[in-house]
Chains A and B, each alone.
Chain A
Amino acid sequence: MAESKKTPTKIEETMEGTVLFDIPFPVGDDLSGLKHMGHILIKQPYSIEYLHSYGQDSPFFAGLANRRFVTNREPETGHTYGTPRGHDMYTGKETEWVEITGEGVVHAFTVCHFGSEEFLPECPFVLVQVEFPGVDTLFLARLVGVDPYAASLDWIGMKVQPRYKRLSKFKPTDVYFVPAE
């Protein structure tokens, strides 16, 4: 089913506004009208930068920067995770690092026509859960190279291959997927 962007019928609200330094208030001792006063709405800016450590998952991001897809495996049971995990959820034991090709199939997908504020400029974009052969769990990624306005359940099962960003951002989006050639 083809999707197309509809013509907008409203202008999005923004947080810009007029700086107000005064507001009407009753003159004199009669304060009875204050119960009927409307509310005052002000803007309170808030921003912060965090120092976020990837901790035991750091080798994954280092791998992406070197165009290699490494993930974790429980050494005894062989249970392998599509997304790195320092300890196995069944045995509780520490996992080891293994390398996979990154080639797989689409397990589930969506097309985001809207998104969180940070990602709005990138809409529409395609999210996929990738299923790797021989790997027990999935990996969340972007899929490019498909028409986001032609979403179809037939995309599930599509063979995909990884592509790596040349300039690493040390984020999971350093790898994304395209339909396999």
Chain B
Amino acid sequence: MYEAAVRANEDARVNPRRDVQSFVTVVEDFIEGVSIFDEYVPGQIEVLLKPTCTTRGEGIHGFITIKAASTAELSFRERSRTHLQGGKSMRTVYAVSGGVSKFTKARQDKTFPAVVKEAYDYAIADLGLEHPQFWEIVDGTVASYFSDHFARQLMAAIMAQDYLGMCPKPSHRVEGGGATGGICFQEGWKAIASGYMDVCLCYGFETMSHVQTWKGNEFIALASDVSFDYPVGGFYSGYYAMMVTRHMKEFGTTVEQMAHVSVKNHMNAYYNPYAQKRQKLTIQDVRNAPMVAWPLTRLDICVMSDGAACTILASEEGLAKLEKASGQRVPRVRVAGIGRGTDAMRMADRPHQSYEDFLKYNLLPSEDTAETRAYYKSLWDRGFRYPGVHSFRAGRMGSKEAYKNAGITDPLAQIDFVELHDAYTSSEVQTYEDMGLCRYGEGGPFAASGRAFVPGIDYGLNLSEEPACSVNPSGGLIACGHPVGATGLMQAAFAIWQLQHTIEKHFGTPELQVPNAQRGAIHSHAGTGTYVTVSILEREA
């Protein structure tokens, strides 16, 4: 009831504590009803001193008169419009625009700040603004890049800030491994939601071409414990391969099921002009590719990239300023909720929890049924432990928090698409489970079922089920590329375009537009599941 009341108040753009003069409530039992209100609807009980009519039985119990609010009152309501996050009142945040540079193996034609500017110029042009206009409105920025080693330039973010012409506005850099871009998006969200800013530019980049591929792998492997992990043979593909061999052993997941992810994402990217690898593949192509870390082949693994991406976030007031400056209306995409989880740096240290602890801490509301509890109990009875090295607890906790904040109780039914962190086909399969698109242990069959595919695209596969929630309609990291600091913001830009229903405008072709997309999730993931961010975006009418 509390959630329903909050949602109703949000939809009506009213704060019940300030804006409502009287209440009419209808309950089956008067005494029980009052106690329910007292417990679950504090927003109403606090105003009981105002005129209240609580009644029971059928028939007409009263009349209400709705008076049109004055302009001043409407203005006040707009300013106070709130969004609940973790039970706390925050301002509504809109994701208003995005920009992505072309991701390629090497962008040696421009310096990294100039590549960031490509993404930025695209994002403001899509709003109908030029830099001087946007500069007058934007309050500040958040910058993201992963590696000082790749950049070989400390304080690289301020160089981008400088080149964009954003000085002297406030800014800071965030870093959290592969999740850097997702963290950047959420830090921008915080700046708006908290009231610190009304318009915030989030930009990210990575220049991985500064070194050869195998040196780049060495840099990335430094994002593992340099006392205990890196010296043993530091190699991220090897780490993820270890995780999936355990997944295969636990659940019977097959390499062919994982290859479905590669075929899907490369085929999706075929229609995405921003993608680095636009290929039509077969399952056999994936399996015949050179083995990198058993059982992962080169086509199970994302490549290194140069690139940049950005996202512009705004409050209601910020959005009004942007629209006033451009004279054009921005399709509303609201950030409905964010979530973030973490786990131990060394995968060796990850817990092997009991069934009871899993239920207490990690079970999603959508899984809380007798049938699914019995399913999980059977896993534990045969030795399964959670998360071990086969599951990403951080991904589960990030999803759980984001779903709670966005009011999602059935992710597969309520989310139209997900842009998730598929640095490896295996990690996409594992993430289906973390995000509750299927249960733990069912990721392999889910990958091959067709449920995560984009409707209307011929993948050359025999898929047994219809698409239910398109995963990585853009092509994901495997096909788009993974310039680390930009990746999470690339996902955000593509998600904004999906929800604005403008994929055809930006991609030049409509195939990847998820039909009638109303809600999407973006998921950003750092080294072996240490940091994971999940953000939910929704289209508003």
B245 close to A140 (CB less than 8 A) = no
Residue B215 lies at the interface, judged by CB distance under 8 Å to chain A? yes
Rounded to whole angstroms, the CA-CA distance of A125 and B233 in the bound complex is 8
**Beta-carbon contact of A153 and B242 below 8 Å:** no
- Contact partner of B232 (CB less than 8 A), chosen from A15, A137, A173, is A173
A114 touches which of B220, B292, B347, B348 (Cβ 8 Å): B292
Interface residues in B375-394 by Cβ distance below 8 A to A read: 389-390
Among the stretches B222-230, B265-273, B325-333, the one at the interface with A is B222-230
* 8 A Cβ contacts from B189-241 to A: 212, 214-215, 217-218, 220-221, 226-229, 231-235, 237-239, 241
Residues of A within 8 A of B243 (CB): 108
**A57 engages B348 (CB within 8 Å):** no
B349 contacts which chain A residues (CB < 8 A)? 81, 83, 85, 89, 137-138
Contact B214 A115 (CB under 8 A): yes
A136: Cβ under 8 A from any B Cβ: yes
Give Cα distance in the complex from A44 to B211, angstroms.
10
- Residues in A with CB closer than 8 Å to B294 are 3, 110-111, 113, 151
Complex: A28 Cα to B81 Cα, angstroms? 63
Report yes or no: B218 in contact with A116, Cβ–Cβ below 8 A: yes
Q: Does B249 lie at the interface of the complex (its beta carbon under 8 Å from any beta carbon of A)?
A: yes
Residues of A in contact (CB 8 Å), total 51
Q: Let me know if A119 and B212 touch, CB within 8 A.
A: no
Proximity string of chain A (134-166) to chain B, C-beta cutoff 8 Å, 1 when within and 0 when not: 001111111000000001010010000000000
**Which of B98-143 touch A at CB < 8 Å?**
108-109
Q: Report whether B249 and A114 are in contact in the complex, using a CB–CB cutoff of 8 Å.
A: no
B86 within 8 A of A: no
Contact of A140 with B229 in the complex, beta carbons under 8 Å: yes
Complex partner residue of B237 from A114, A136, A173, CB under 8 angstroms: A114
Q: Which of B109, B217, B235, B348 contacts A129 (CB 8 A)?
A: B348
B463 lies within 8 A of chain A by Cβ:
no
What residues of chain B lie closer than 8 Å to A3, measured between beta carbons?
291, 294
Whether A108 lies near B227 (C-beta < 8 A) is no
A-contact bits for B320-358, CB 8 A (1 contact / 0 none): 000000000000000000000000101111111000000
Instruction: With A54-B227, A110-B293, A111-B293 as known contacts, state yes or no: A129 contacts B347, CB within 8 Å.
Output: yes
CA distance A142 to B212 in the complex (A): 25
Least CB distance, A175 to chain B, in whole angstroms: 10
Distance (whole angstroms) from the CB of A154 to the closest CB of chain B: 9
B348 A172 Cβ-Cβ under 8 A = no
> Which residue of A is nearest B301, CB measured?
A114
Residues of A within 8 A of B232 (CB): 127, 140-142, 172-173
Decide: B245 and A113 in contact? CB cutoff 8 A: no
Contacting pair A117 B214 (CB below 8 A): yes
Find out whether the CB atom of B235 lies under 8 angstroms from the CB atom of A153: no
Does any Cβ of A come within 8 Å of B290's Cβ?
Answer: yes
Q: How far is the CA of A46 from the CA of B472 in the complex (A)?
A: 37
CB within 8 Å of B: which A47-79 residues: 52, 54, 57
- Residues in chain A near residue B245, CB distance under 8 A: 108-110, 153, 156
Interface residues of A in 67-104 (CB under 8 A from B): 81-85, 89
Instruction: For the complex formed, measure the closest distance between the CB of A86 and the CB atoms of chain B, giving whole angstroms.
Output: 12
Given A13-B212, A116-B234, A82 and B348 contact (CB-CB distance below 8 Å): yes
B241: nearest chain-A partner, CB-CB: A110
Q: Name the B residues within 8 Å of A120 (CB-CB).
A: 214
Compute how far the CA of A128 lies from the CA of B249 in the bound complex, rounded to whole angstroms.
Answer: 14
Cα(A128)–Cα(B294), bound, Å: 12
- B152 CB-CB contact with A under 8 Å: yes
**Distance of B424 from chain A, by nearest CB (Å):** 12
When C-beta atoms are compared, the residue in chain A nearest to B255 turns out to be: A1
Check if B290 sits within 8 Å of A113, measured CB to CB: yes
Contacts of A139 in B (CB 8 A): 348
Give the residue name and chain of the B residue nearest to A4 (CB).
B291
When distances are taken between beta carbons in the complex, the residues of chain A under 8 Å from B109 are 38-39
CB distance from B236 to the nearest CB of A (A): 9
Chain B residues closer than 8 Å to A39, beta-carbon distance: 108-109
Query: Does any Cβ of A come within 8 Å of B248's Cβ?
Result: yes
Q: In the complex, what distance in Å separates the CA atom of A139 from the CA atom of B296?
A: 22
- Complex Cα gap A54–B246 (Å): 30
In the complex, whether B43 has a CB less than 8 A from a CB of chain A is no
Chain B residues contacting A6 (CB-CB under 8 Å) are 290
Q: Tell me if B455 counts as interface (CB < 8 A to partner A).
A: no
Chain B min CB distance to A49 (Å): 14
A178 contacts the other chain (Cβ, under 8 Å)?
Answer: no
Residues of B within 8 A of A125 (CB): 233
Q: Which of B433-476 contact A (CB under 8 A)?
A: none
A43 CB to closest chain B CB, in angstroms?
10
Knowing A137-B349, A138-B348, A172-B231, the reply to whether A108 touches B218 (Cβ < 8 A) is: no
Q: A41: CB under 8 A from chain B? A: yes
A127 lies within 8 A of B242 (CB): yes
Q: Is the CB of A107 within 8 A of B218?
A: no
Check: A30 CB closer than 8 A to any chain B CB.
no
Docked Cα-Cα span, A15 to B239, in Å, equals 28
State the CA gap A109–B389 with chains docked (Å): 11
Q: In the complex, what distance in Å separates the CA atom of A123 from the CA atom of B228? A: 19
Across the two chains, which residue of chain A brings its CB closest to B246?
A: A108
Whether A52 and B242, one on each chain, are in contact in the complex, defined by CB atoms closer than 8 angstroms, is: no
Distance between Cα atoms of A173 and B237 in the complex (Å): 19
A120 CA / B245 CA spacing, docked (Å): 22
Instruction: Tell me, yes or no, whether A22 is within 8 Å of chain B by CB.
Output: no
Whether B16 sits at the interface, judged by CB under 8 Å, is no
Using a CB–CB cutoff of 8 Å, the interface residues on chain A facing chain B are 3, 6, 13-15, 38-39, 41, 44, 46, 52, 54, 57, 81-85, 89, 107-120, 122, 125, 127-129, 136-142, 151, 153, 156, 171-173
The 6 closest A-B pairs by CB, nearest first: A110-B241, A116-B218, A138-B348, A108-B246, A111-B294, A117-B214
What are 11 of the A-B contact pairs (CB < 8 Å)?
Answer: A57-B228, A109-B245, A111-B291, A114-B237, A114-B293, A116-B235, A127-B238, A136-B352, A137-B351, A138-B348, A142-B232
